[in-house]
Amino acid sequence: MRSRLPSLLLPAFFCCLTGIVMAGEFRVGAARVDITPRDGTPLGGYYRFRGSAGVLDPLYAKTLVMEKDGVCAAVVVLDLSGTVRPVVEAARRAVQDLCGIEGDHVLISGTHTHTGPQQPRGSLMDDITKVNTPPGVAYISALPGLIAESVKQAKARLVPATASAVIGRAEGISFNRRVLREGQAEAVWQPKKLLATDRPAGPVDPEVGVLVFGGAGADASPVASLLNFAMHPTSVGGGVRISADYPGVFTRLVSERHGPGMISVFANGCCGNINHGDYITGRRRSTLELGTALADAVDAAWPQLKPLRTFAPRVLSTQVTLERRAVSDAQAAKARDVVSRMMTENLGTVPMAEAVCIMETLDKQKVPLTAEVQVIAFSDELAVVSLPGEIFVELGLALKKASPFRHTFIAELANGSIGYIPNREAWPQGNYEVVSARCAPGSGERLVEAALRLLNEARKGG
């Protein structure tokens, strides 16, 4: 299936026929650079060492560059488990050197695939995943340059473009992986099947954001898309073979179906507590099924794409300093015990996650926990927000609802990550995401407030 964009999107096409870039034109370029590691590279996503061996499908750094009146903004999404601040800072410097886009106009996020290379976090996680061994160091050293190359190529491909957007829906694909059980204070984490009296601890976000940039081809076929959905990419299930997980299938299908030359970029939304484990039927959908279901949701929404009036990108960002979590003496003692045994015994994900987090908190008590929030707006109707961790879906839904923009796309794990960020209500319910959260209760709400301030400023004119 090859789609045409609505006819309202055509004016840029006529400008381009002249072959001259007109002042004031809104332009978009997109590119992808392969970031698949060599065999033997330490992988991320789980609390154990996995050296990569073989490739199911490649990993990319995918970039969209938007430009008008000489002002550029870039959105980069990596097929990686997240982003770490040193890589983001190095990549931004490299982008500035290589193609002149200011570093703070670059958003860098990760899809959160669990079958891609690990990045150093400056905690015990680095020992567990062996990220600082030569293959890991070689991969991380090369990454900023590859990101910059992707931005450079996208900028070199800028063409006059129209923008259009629609919000699709994918129901029954994603699940809130925290469940409340009768008579139990602690949430159950990732149950395989619900008991009759169980209920999900929170909602999901079924929205599939679809932003399409139409180019200057004879049929105005799309040049790029930005797709947004909130769900953990864990469907490959670990292992040592490289995969972009469902975002790889999803973006490939959207491009195949709607414009073979189109670069489709997937940004993961607030999926801290959302995964694909279907505890209603007990079924686990495959990577292919998940990507196909999301591409089908895009197909269903595509005819309702509405043109956006575009302007020069407005890029705003702020650094928010958050409080670190509190650690009691008993928690510290328990964490030390777990750490002393974790390299030789299989203690389970939750105790290991908690111990790693507590040891990091004790180590870094005097280091501020600073996190960036960024907004990129290029239309009165749509903005992209970056958030710096694995954000609970309730916070994403609240942000979208309060946003002054009709469409708000959220890219989590962006511009560095501070780990899980639960909403206030989740804290007393404990379990995996809460015990491994490095920030204090209320941090997520503060990030949402910061994002809303930036969104309101961007909506008024930046």
Closest CB 78 distance from Zn ion, rounded Å? 15
Which of 6, 430 has the CB closer to Zn ion? Answer: 430
Taking CA atoms, 94 is separated from 181, 210, 324, in Å, by: 50, 29, 31
The Cα–Cα gap between 347 and 351 comes to: 7
Q: Pick between residue 117 and residue 160 the one whose CB is nearest to Zn ion.
A: 117
Give the nearer residue to Zn ion in terms of CB position, either 403 or 436. Answer: 436
> Shortest distance, CB of residue 311 to Zn ion, whole angstroms?
35
Question: Closest residue (Cβ) to Zn ion?
Answer: 390
Angle of helix 246-258 relative to helix 287-301, nearest 10 degrees?
40
User: In whole angstroms, what is the distance from residue 306 CA to residue 284 CA?
Assistant: 34
| Spatial contact of 131 and 46, defined as CB atoms under 8 Å apart | no
- In whole angstroms, the minimum distance from the beta carbon of 254 to Zn ion comes to 23
CA dist 270 and 307 (Å) reads: 26
Q: How far is the CB of 8 from Zn ion (least distance, A)?
A: 39
Give whichever of 25 and 390 is closer to Zn ion, judged by the CB atom.
390
Rounded Cα gap, residues 308 and 382, in angstroms: 8
All residues at 6 or more sequence positions from 197 whose CB lies less than 8 Å from its CB, including other chains = 181, 182
Smallest separation (angstroms) from Zn ion to the CB of 234: 8
Closer Cβ to Zn ion, 36 or 190, answer by number: 190
Nearer to Zn ion by Cβ, of 278 and 449: the residue is 278
Treating both helix axes as pointing N-terminal to C-terminal, what angle do 349-363 and 329-341 enclose, rounded to 10 degrees?
120
* Site mask for Zn ion (CB under 5 A), range 109-148, x = bound: ----------------------------------------
Long-range contacts of 335-344 (CB under 8 A, 24+ apart): 335/359, 335/362, 339/124, 342/128, 343/127, 343/128
Binding to Zn ion (CB under 5 A): which residues in 355-414? 390
| Least distance (Å) between residue 199 CB and Zn ion | 22
Question: Tokens representing 310?
Answer: 């575009």
Which amino acid, residue 262?
A: M
Give the residue with the Cβ less far from Zn ion, 96 or 190: 190
Shortest Å distance, C-beta 82 to Zn ion: 8
Binding-site size, Zn ion (CB under 5 A): 1
Sites for Zn ion among residues 23-52 (CB under 5 A): none
Q: Which residues of 72-99 are buried (b: 16+ CB within 10 A; e: fewer)?
A: bbbbbbbbbbbbbbebbebbbebbbeeb
Task: Report in angstroms how near the CB of residue 272 gets to Zn ion at its nearest.
Answer: 7
Shorter beta-carbon distance to Zn ion: residue 113 or 164: 113
Q: Considering only residues 274-303, where is the footprint of Zn ion by CB under 5 A?
A: none
Binding residues (CB under 5 A) for Zn ion: these are 390
